[in-house]
Chains A and B, each alone.
Chain A
Amino acid sequence: MSTPQVALEDYKYGFHYEDKSVFKTRKGLDEQVVRDISNAKKEPEWMLEYRLRALQAFNSKPMPSWGADLSDINFDEIYYYAKPTEEQARTWEDLPADIKETYDRLGIPEAEQKFLSGVGAQYDSEVVYHSIKEEVSRLGVLFLSPEQAIEQYPEIVKKYFGTIIPYNDNKFAALNTAVWSGGSFVYIPKGVRVDVPLQAYFRINSASFGQFERTLIIADEGSFVHYVEGCTAPVYTRDSLHSAVVEIIALEGARVRYSTIQNWSSDVYNLVTKRAVAHKNATVEWVDGNLGSKRTMKYPAVYLMGEGAHGEVLSIAFAGKGQEQDSGGKIVHAASNTTSTITSKSISKAGGTATYRGHIKVEEGVENVRSKVECDALLIDGESTTNTYPYMDIKSDDVAIEHEATVSKISDDQIFYLMSRGMSEDEAAGMIVNGFLDPLVKQLPMEYAVELNRLIELEMEGSVG
């Protein structure tokens, strides 16, 4: 059999509009650029100081010596801040035509009506549109841009901002902290369940651009929220950088589900730090789909800080031509009677590299810990690569850990079998890929599974006859 053409190259969101930023910092990064960003935001002095400290950390920290190949990133060639509009819009109609059209083409307003409690839409550096449904906001749920939160709820922001991921955590978290702009701030009051998801949508429009949004989610005791994030960008010939920081605090008995499908264009470096703490009996679930980007390094983490806490990571990666998806998850069991699972499914094709990198840590003196790690890789062809690095750091005896890893390749026999039933070679390959993902997709909530299936179909389009 010749190589099945499961096309991941057919990127549907690669369009862009003219860069009409109302304010943009000059190319490159130094203290003045950071001051300009801070000044543009008219933010309090403490935040500027925090940014400057982070800038120092960024400058002094070396590039990661492991993971995806980042040697081509040129920090001097990037624009770190671009303000697309003067004001945040409350209705889609209030947005400039280009921007509204962008979101229409991405289907965001439609999704908002159909299955979301609230939407935040970020265009380059700023959140240009924000909404929350009346019935949700009436419950005391806060869903704002972080800039608005600093203005309106400074005490909550100060209490939690940078506590889960400190400014000097790693080079890219430091970069984000220095130049962050946009993102989401979510607060769910005690006992409130937001059954319909909140969604943030991140769009890069400018070329050679860096997007550095910052998300802070606080789920108070016994609350529930599902936060969904989507990302796309135009196709340019020069690289862009997306380096987000996401901090989640799940207080006692709370449950937070955070779902991402990043579908960045193939010239975006996607280097993101995502971390949650789960207190007593709290649950945090990351659903992390990496379909796009040139290089991704992202390992959503859950620190299980209280007894009975549960952490979960579901990771799905597609690595196509020229792509390197270095993803996985990290769980730290810092309390007794805690449980976790990491499930990873990756697909490599056309020379792409998918790497699972996981870390399970169990602290000393912690009892009755259970953890399950399962990573499955599917190779579409012989030129693609998959790696598995499952680190375990176990300092307690009272631990039950399961780890399973499989690598499979679409076999000629499978393709021949399906073709003998009338399916074209591409359709046969698509069916096998979907089958590979099926056990994982089944675990997703309905509306999300539908969304993922739609995206996978888009990815396979042109190959699925």
Chain B
Amino acid sequence: MKIEIQDLQARIGDIEILKGVNLTLKSGEIHALMGPNGSGKSTLSNVIFGNETYEVTGGKILVDGEDILEMETHERARLGLFLAFQYPVEIPGVTVGRFLKRAAEIRFEGQKDRMKSFVKQLRANMDYMDINQQFINRYLNEGFSGGEKKRMEILQMLMLEPQFAILDETDSGLDIDALKIVAQGVNKLRTETEFGALVITHYQRILDHIKPDYVHIMYQGRIVTSGGGDLVSQLEEHGYDWVKKQHGIQEEEKNEHAASRT
């Protein structure tokens, strides 16, 4: 799968958040997207999935050459895209098992054999993610701890085997053990399937466990620099000020600081 984001602009209400994002992502590649709060990272992931809270005002998102901006969220998902949410919502009364079974039926429609081994696979993946089997009968995300919710997102990802996933700050709020488990899940798909991911994060930590092929830094609604894995350590060392200086964007900050911090 190839995702080409071209000059993407989006806003929420009157506030412009994405101001021309260009990014090309492919299955088989792991991209890290870093940047300070309010730089537009989460907006980008929501816009890729067609969240109607955001209005796209310009640009394109092509998946294997086809513009998906007119597609509904579920149609985008059915292409093989997956979003691990920053804040997974609770769905009372819907058990993890029932929900995941339905999601898998949709994902693997027409592959009957695939659903035959669903329960077995679910149990194996739960073990892999260190999630108690009893969670199968719990209501989705209801009463889960922050870490449990994040692991549940990755469990879903393992079960649905997307061609490309976006992990929206999946690492935030996780302790080191949970972080390793999450990384382990990503690395499993990475080695076993034709899988790519965009890992959105503030911290280097998770990137020690999921080695990115590419790193992008977002600032004020644009990707301001891209590079290989070594960009992470430079950023860690010098901070975002260094990025700003490198790219001469300090003047712009004065004017748009307020607007971008939403």
List the interface of chain A (C-beta within 8 A of B): 1-2, 411-414, 416-425, 428, 431-432, 434-439
Minimum distance in angstroms from B147 CB to a CB of chain A: 18
Residues of chain A within 8 A of B91, CB atoms compared = 414, 417-418, 431-432, 435
A416 and B51 within 8 A (CB): yes
Residues of chain B within 8 A of A421, CB atoms compared = 74, 77, 99, 103, 106, 156, 160
Name B83-113 residues within 8 Å CB distance of A. Answer: 83, 85, 88-89, 91-94, 99, 102-103, 106-107
Most chain B CB within a 10 A radius of its CB, from A419, A422, A434: A422
- Decide yes or no: A416 and B93 within 8 Å by CB, A1-B52, A422-B106, A423-B103 being known contacts: no
B99 and A416 within 8 A (CB): no
A438 and B93 within 8 A (CB): yes
The 14 sampled A-B contact pairs (Cβ below 8 Å) are A416-B49, A416-B73, A420-B49, A420-B74, A420-B83, A421-B103, A422-B106, A425-B74, A428-B74, A431-B91, A431-B102, A435-B91, A435-B92, A438-B93
Of the candidates B52, B78, B89, B139, the one whose C-beta lies within 8 Å of that of A417 is B89
Residues of chain A within 8 A of B127, CB atoms compared = none
Closest chain A residue to B51, Cβ basis: A416
Residues of chain A within 8 A of B73, CB atoms compared = 416, 419-420
A422 and B78 within 8 A (CB): yes
Most chain A CB within a 10 A radius of its CB, from B92, B156, B160: B92
Residues of chain B within 8 A of A420, CB atoms compared = 49, 73-74, 77, 82-83, 85
Residues of chain B within 8 A of A437, CB atoms compared = 93
- Decide yes or no: A413 and B103 within 8 Å by CB, A422-B74, A435-B139 being known contacts: no
Q: Interface readout for B59-84 with A: 1 if CB under 8 Å, 0 if not?
A: 00000000000001110011000110
Residues of chain A within 8 A of B94, CB atoms compared = 431-432, 434-435, 438
A411 and B106 within 8 A (CB): no
A431 and B52 within 8 A (CB): no
A290 and B71 CA atoms in complex are apart in Å by: 37
The 4 nearest A-B residue pairs measured at CB? A435-B93, A438-B93, A422-B106, A419-B73
The number of inter-chain residue pairs (CB within 8 angstroms) is 71
A431 and B99 within 8 A (CB): yes
Decide yes or no whether B24 CB sits under 8 A from chain A: no
Closest chain B residue to A422, Cβ basis: B106
Residues of chain A within 8 A of B83, CB atoms compared = 420
Say whether chain B's binding surface is mostly helix, strand, loop, or mixed.
mixed
Closest chain B residue to A411, Cβ basis: B89
Closest chain A residue to B107, Cβ basis: A422
Residues of chain B within 8 A of A419, CB atoms compared = 72-74, 77
Most chain A CB within a 10 A radius of its CB, from B72, B93, B160: B93
Say whether chain A's binding surface is mostly helix, strand, loop, or mixed.
helix
Decide yes or no whether B53 CB sits under 8 A from chain A: yes
Residues of chain A within 8 A of B88, CB atoms compared = 417
- Decide yes or no: A425 and B77 within 8 Å by CB, A414-B89, A435-B92, A435-B94 being known contacts: no
Residues of chain A within 8 A of B107, CB atoms compared = 422
Residues of chain B within 8 A of A418, CB atoms compared = 91, 99
A430 and B54 CA atoms in complex are apart in Å by: 24
Residues of chain A within 8 A of B106, CB atoms compared = 421-423
A412 and B103 within 8 A (CB): no
- Given contact pairs A418-B99, A420-B85, A422-B77, enumerate 9 new A-B contacts (beta carbons under 8 Å): A412-B52, A414-B91, A416-B73, A419-B72, A419-B73, A422-B78, A422-B103, A423-B102, A435-B92
Most chain B CB within a 10 A radius of its CB, from A411, A420, A437: A420
A423 and B139 within 8 A (CB): no
Minimum distance in angstroms from B116 CB to a CB of chain A: 20
A2 and B72 CA atoms in complex are apart in Å by: 11
Residues of chain B within 8 A of A424, CB atoms compared = 72, 74
- Decide yes or no: A412 and B53 within 8 Å by CB, A422-B74, A435-B93 being known contacts: yes
A359 and B88 CA atoms in complex are apart in Å by: 39
Closest chain A residue to B139, Cβ basis: A435
A414 and B140 CA atoms in complex are apart in Å by: 11
A434 and B93 within 8 A (CB): yes
Closest chain A residue to B53, Cβ basis: A412
Closest chain B residue to A440, Cβ basis: B93
A437 and B93 CA atoms in complex are apart in Å by: 7
Q: Interface readout for B136-171 with A: 1 if CB under 8 Å, 0 if not?
A: 000100000000000000001000100000000000
A412 and B156 CA atoms in complex are apart in Å by: 20
A425 and B156 within 8 A (CB): no
Residues of chain B within 8 A of A432, CB atoms compared = 91, 93-94
Residues of chain B within 8 A of A2, CB atoms compared = 52
Residues of chain B within 8 A of A413, CB atoms compared = 89
Minimum distance in angstroms from A41 CB to a CB of chain B: 48
